[in-house]
Chain A
């Protein structure tokens, strides 16, 4: 029996064979010993599997599982609300805060360099950290390299 015939026998059992091919395949299943044996085996397997899937309870309590689902639902809703909300004051602050910080830094960094004589107590400027909660900022000034590096980290 060739592979194509075997798959046709299976399709016939599954009710997926084109109607015009059904009579020939049904006849083969009756008359051919190998085909009949294969059909019997497939039928036994299909019957064994039908409605005999192992029942497997969820290994978590109702309350615990629901609390996780609920958290997921709330997290999704917060995300959706955040996406759909128009730009409010807090949103504008998120955009303006970095610019404000850069401007403030420029004043702090350049005033002592050009206003006071060079090298005077510049150690105090070597590291400045922003106190703002949403934006963290770190600067480093190297006198030897005559260079200032500013890290702005937007959360």
Chain B
């Protein structure tokens, strides 16, 4: 006889075990718990509400289909986040948003312009309330290109190493380092409000 589960209070591990046996109610609870985080990750990459909803939904369907492959090496949320990231990267590739074919973009990749920018000597975020800081960071992220934002999201928010970012984005480690450098310098300028009047 199977145990009766109190879904809202059950741990992720227990819910995953039950979902792996075909319990959709357990999976529904996992979706309810982590849907905001997955959506936020998708949004941070594609910057479009409808696309982010669709991609996070697709990630949950794929998660269910591949659930038997989940062995618990990482947390369930980390595993699901990797799925949504891969879907977002595929989506951006299909839309050619990750391409860097303009002269300006190539210059950004090599860090040409940003290397000449004056260094921000003061901490641009000092004294800011956390909510305000988060808003400001989000607005600044919006001004980066898809390629630079993606590197920043994967490295800073997902804590992936250079080689892992390079593998996922299909580029060299050198490109990742250049893009990350550019993205950070630009973020510093944007957060400090130094970019006013300049073309993003």
Residues of A bordering B, CB below 8 Å: 3, 6-7, 10-11, 14, 16, 34, 37-38, 40-42, 44-50, 52-60, 62, 65-66, 68-70, 72-73, 76
Contact A58 B35 (CB under 8 A): yes
Contact A16 B162 (CB under 8 A): yes
Given contacts A41-B188, A53-B157, A57-B36, contact A3 B61 (CB under 8 A): no
Partner of A44 from the list B39, B115, B124 (CB cut-off 8 Å) is: B124
| Bound Cα distance from A9 to B31, whole angstroms | 41
Contact A59 B49 (CB under 8 A): yes
Secondary structure at the B interface, as helix, strand, loop or mixed, is: helix
| Bound Cα distance from A64 to B119, whole angstroms | 48
Q: In the complex, which range does the number of interface residues on chain B fall in?
A: 35 or more
Residue B17 lies at the interface, judged by CB distance under 8 Å to chain A: no
Given contacts A41-B185, A57-B36, A73-B64, 7 further A-B contacts (CB under 8 A): A3-B115, A34-B119, A37-B119, A56-B44, A58-B36, A68-B57, A76-B61
| Bound Cα distance from A6 to B157, whole angstroms | 22
Within 8 A of A (CB), among B30-87: 31-32, 35-36, 39-40, 43-44, 49, 53, 56-58, 60-61, 64-65
| Bound Cα distance from A55 to B39, whole angstroms | 10
Contact B130 A41 (CB under 8 A): no
Residue B24 lies at the interface, judged by CB distance under 8 Å to chain A: yes
Contact B124 A11 (CB under 8 A): no
Contact B162 A42 (CB under 8 A): no
Q: How many A-B contacts at CB < 8 Å in the complex? A: 119
| Bound Cα distance from A68 to B35, whole angstroms | 13
Contact A53 B137 (CB under 8 A): yes
Contact A58 B134 (CB under 8 A): no
Of chain A, the residue at the smallest CB distance from B135 is A54
| Bound Cα distance from A70 to B30, whole angstroms | 13
| Chain A hits for B177, CB < 8 A | 7, 10-11
| Chain B hits for A40, CB < 8 A | 119, 121
Q: How distant is A135 from chain B, measured CB to nearest CB, in Å?
A: 32
Residue B178 lies at the interface, judged by CB distance under 8 Å to chain A: yes
Contact A10 B134 (CB under 8 A): no
